[in-house]
Amino acid sequence: MKKILFFPVLFFIFLLNIAGTCCDDEVVVTSTVDKIPDAIRSTLNQGTWKITYFFDSKTNKLNSFSGYNFTFGLNDLLTAQSTGLDYSGKWSVAKSNKVDDNPHNDIEFTIAFLSPNGAGLSEDWSVFEINPTQLRLRITGSSAGETKYLTFEKG
The helix/strand/coil state of 76 is: helix
**Is residue 19 included in any domain, yes or no?**
no
User: Is residue 118 assigned to a domain?
Assistant: yes
67-111 tens-digit pLDDT: 999 999 999 999 999 988 888 999 999 987 765 545 555 789 999
The dihedral over CA atoms of 97, 101, 104, 108, expressed in degrees to the nearest 10, equals -10
CATH number at residue 50: 2.40.128.540
Whether 122 shows a pLDDT value over 50: the answer reads yes
Q: How far is CA 45 from the centre of its chain?
A: 18
Q: Considering its fold, how many domains does the chain have in total?
A: 1
In a domain, 5, yes or no: no
7 located within any domain: no
Q: What is the pLDDT of residues 10-53, one digit of tens each?
A: 555 655 555 444 444 444 444 556 678 899 999 999 999 999 99
User: Hey, what amino acid is at 54?
Assistant: F
**pTM for the whole thing?**
0.73
Decide if 126 is inside a domain: yes
Instruction: Tell me the C-alpha distance between 77 and 99, whole Å.
Output: 28
Domain that holds residue 114: 30-154
What tens digit of pLDDT does each residue of 48-74 get? 999 999 998 788 888 888 899 999 999
Any domain includes 25: no
